[in-house]
Structure 1
């Protein structure tokens, strides 16, 4: 932590992909930070009804594909719903966590609040797309922050968490008159890490008589992850395109030396009826979980009706 560095809104603005002037330091009394994926927006996940569990992990890995994989490929996010051309005019209706959208709109209305959209997606790959998505929804943030290759000061990041903590530190030190901070995050591991981060930050500020600001009342709020899948046909097509690009890089020698080509292999693990999203929602509405259990600890699995835990014989399929 570098509390002695000079923190200005000019320096802080370099973190943001939004073409917007930051408010004056003395004007801001509270800071509101919103994670993007599966907090504000229901980003598609690899469909476990389509892929084996090990394949789902491979698809999301950063180092499996030459082009970075699921979370590093803008075409995956752009294919959400029925694709960019269809979804942008209707603002990706049904893909947002409307409870969080309501909170963002309240932040927009508060003149003394700094609102920030924060995501670990890469600045080079996703800045234009995410700005278009939030604009289509009519949401405005003072800062839209995506992960740069290096920080404005030239710092390299070992992880997404390290990037976010470096940015949070700059925000808190720049807006030194803000007394409250609320942060919304879907991943429990990150929620715990951010709570620890702000605890350590406040202890350091409290123990330093020459600290540039007083401790901040920081609350990291756990948000229930919003699961969503793409259309299976579109998803397989997007994954095949990722594989084609990866394999072309392997053949041309532009992929890492240990990279190997991939192909999609069809395997039947069970036979059953796959339930549609409306039917799944109707089944979930019938469940009354215990009130003592946090919502984010509950995962609904009502997505299929099993016929056989293996490829079904023709005699069953013909019934």
Structure 2
């Protein structure tokens, strides 16, 4: 068996065999609380043999009040498993409101991470006209981040491209035609596929959710299939009234699979996509979550699917 030279794992099967993590990292935010303090990254001890098991053992504050930390991701993953110059050392933690990026060193002392570098949201806005970061994915030694708006908070946003030193290369996409909004994305390079989903423009969702905005088509209902190599949308699928606000997208972990899923939040449905034997992309609804009646809510309360997770064995 080939030696594991770089970060991550050679296959999903190898990942399943990995030892348990000793610590986990989670974001803690003050948005909406009235507390004027910076958000922070909490380190939690999950080593069952440790005397501090289950406790927060360190807190790393950001440098700005009002970041609203959201999704985060690693600088390196299994996509550069064969590159022994790379290591999973840095956690990339963006603020969805400030557009600041905090690059956090988790390798020097995993139990007490430290701030390595900050990328200013203002620098990103001025250089690439993007704001409101969401999903962070490593791509070999580079990093791609979905950005939900332009510098003024209008859609559709785009994708920020960073190099391994966390310097701004530019915008990743060559053509954004066909995309009204941005949110999550995932890719399968062996099939030249990337799929992205839609939320809304920052100027729509930042003030708070308004059901009337859905009726006015200010929230998304489409997913986009990209030509990954040429960095442009190849096909857009409108999920219709049963696919309102499609958020989290997940491909199978198997890099040879074209199967994937997206959760439509407001409609509370799960859609499945795949390529058939002719190469045509098929999209089908496979799961319904029924709404429930809630007192003082104007319509039946939907399940609000905000995240989905696939087991490592797919």
| TM-score interval (norm. to shorter) | under 0.3
Q: Which has the larger radius of gyration?
A: 1
Using structure 2 for the length normalisation, give the TM-score: 0.26
Which structure has the higher relative contact order (CA within 8 Å, separation 6+)?
Answer: 1
Give the structure with the higher percent helix.
Answer: 1
Using structure 1 for the length normalisation, give the TM-score: 0.25
Give the structure with the higher percent strand.
Answer: 2
